[in-house]
Amino acid sequence: MTGPEQKRLLSEAYRHMPQGVAENYRYWGEERTIFIASAKGCELTDCDGKTYVDFRLGYGPIILGYRDARVDAAVIEQITQGGTLSGFSTPLDIKVVQQVKALCPNIEKMRFANSGTEAVMGAVRTARGFTKRKQIAIVEGAFHGLYDEMMWKSDIESWDPAGTEEPRVIPFGAGIPDQSRNLLTIIQLNNFEQLDRLFREKGDDLAAIVLEPIIGNAGSIAATPKWLRYLRDLCTQHGTMLIIDEVKTGFRAAPGGAQQIYGIHADLTTYAKAMGNGYPVAAFGGRGDVMDSVGAFKGGVVHGGTYTANLVALSAASATLNILASTDAWTTIDEAGAKIRDTLGRVFTAAGIQHCFAGPPAMFGIHFSEFVPMNYRDWRMTDSDLYTRFAWQLIEHGVMLEPDSREPWFICEAHQSVDLGWLEDVATKAMREAKS
Ligand SMILES: Cc1ncc(COP(=O)(O)O)c(C=O)c1O
């Protein structure tokens, strides 16, 4: 329940923005829509003065901590000395690409974008331009941004797992034309048969498969190394571009992202979120020959935009990547995540709740089930209602997270200071309340 000031703000906001919010997913209902006054480290303070330890981290971008002084100083220096943008190239363009390449050997050439959505659009267009093919495929349960073609999903919520019907494929909402689905196929994670069928039926016209090997929008459920290797090999055989969407996993799951964990390289990769510790920066890149199809020459793939490689974004990215590459920040994040996960595990065990964790410590999913889900349909079998009740109770007790087990717990460097005894205590209370 939010306090009186946030209720007042929401009633005022209704007059100015649809549902009173600047973005659909921020509306949590009349009693629960949160307005934040300030953020620092791993803490948020709402407009009624309540403080939360935050594991949502703005859906993942915060990798060091809110208002990280090192990153903010670099941005302030850039904008006061050099400006924000000029519509021309700068030396920082090259420097940031070099920094990304030093962490991610899958990148030979890269271009910038302003959001994960834009990075995915750029990668898909590049794949189509390079292969001269049209069809693309994605994995059930994944999310690749807010543009029409990617806004189709299997309706798992109203699907009957005990029945024989497949889930319906539906648009995320209104305004998405049916035609935008014509070139899209949705396959299930870790399903070998569906991969074989996809390549058999569409192989010659399949420009790209876009996937997150660790699904950041389905509780970090992950591809098996064997399945991902099989997919990689099929893509290579068929000349299909493997696009790994590292918008959530990039610079987070490991310094070199999910691709470092699997030891498998994509043809094209997208980055955003952790790349700039909360400043809006994104990128797509990969094989040099594929990326060289982008350009202002006849037949080249179009890429650009007024704010591309703006210097607020690039100075933040440069500082963030420098910290991740040259300090032990990432080890700290990994260790903090493992301790937080273990603390929660103890709480669930003590409460007699069957549970399992998915994904790496820096973005782990919690599933109330005996086995780690192998795909999105398995997720439907988990006790996600219990998770949601537990999450709402945690929020009441000052732990911020998304009340949906499809969103992982995000860890940043500043979480090293979390009082684990306090967390165990409030999680124990929250679980007791959720169960009752
Ligand atoms: C895997 C993935 N790709 C793309 C996007 C879209 O990124 P953005 O919200 O920055 O447009 C998201 C957003 O959460 C994401 O998780």
pLDDT in tens, 87-112: 999 999 999 999 999 999 999 999 99
Q: How far is the CA of 419 from the centre of ligand 1 (A)?
A: 30
Pocket test for ligand 1, best of 120, 247, 275 (most atoms within 8 A of CB): 247
Token pair 């093919």 is found at 133
Six-digit token pair at 287? 């094989």
Q: Give the model's pLDDT for residue 388.
A: 98
The structure's pTM equals 0.98
- pLDDT of residue 49 exceeding 90: yes
- pLDDT of residue 219 exceeding 90: yes
User: Bridge partners of 110?
Assistant: 285
Q: How far is the CA of 414 from the centre of ligand 1 (A)?
A: 23
Q: Tell me the pLDDT band of 73, cut-offs 50, 70 and 90.
A: very high
Q: Is 355 left (phi over 0), alpha (psi -120 to 50) or beta?
A: beta
Q: Give the model's pLDDT for residue 313.
A: 98
Indicate where the chain has its CATH 3.40.640.10 domain(s).
69-326
Q: Give the model's pLDDT for residue 198.
A: 98
Residue 268: half-sphere exposure toward Cβ, Cα within 13 Å? 34
CB of 143 within 6 A of ligand 1: the answer is yes
Give me the torsion for CA of 356, 360, 361, 364, rounded to 10°. -50
Distance of alpha carbon 343 from alpha carbon 423, whole angstroms: 8
- pLDDT of residue 334 exceeding 90: yes
Distance of alpha carbon 243 from alpha carbon 120, whole angstroms: 9
Distance of alpha carbon 183 from alpha carbon 18, whole angstroms: 31
Percent of the chain with pLDDT over 90: 99
Kindly report the protein residue whose alpha carbon is nearest to atom 8 of ligand 1: 116
Pocket test for ligand 1, best of 248, 270, 407 (most atoms within 8 A of CB): 248
Indicate where the chain has its CATH 3.90.1150.10 domain(s).
35-67+328-435
- pLDDT of residue 348 exceeding 90: yes
Averaged pLDDT for residues 68-82: 98
Q: Assign a CATH topology to domain 35-67+328-435.
A: Aspartate Aminotransferase, domain 1 (3.90.1150)
Q: How far is the CA of 10 from the centre of ligand 1 (A)?
A: 26
Answer yes or no: are the C-beta atoms of 417 and 42 closer than 8 Å: yes
Averaged pLDDT for residues 262-290: 98
Answer yes or no: are the C-beta atoms of 379 and 368 closer than 8 Å: no
Answer yes or no: are the C-beta atoms of 376 and 140 closer than 8 Å: yes
Q: Assign a CATH topology to domain 69-326.
A: Aspartate Aminotransferase; domain 2 (3.40.640)
Token pair 């793939």 is found at 301
Q: Tell me the pLDDT band of 414, cut-offs 50, 70 and 90.
A: very high
In ligand 1, the atom with minimum distance to the C-alpha of 117 is 11
Q: Give the model's pLDDT for residue 203.
A: 87
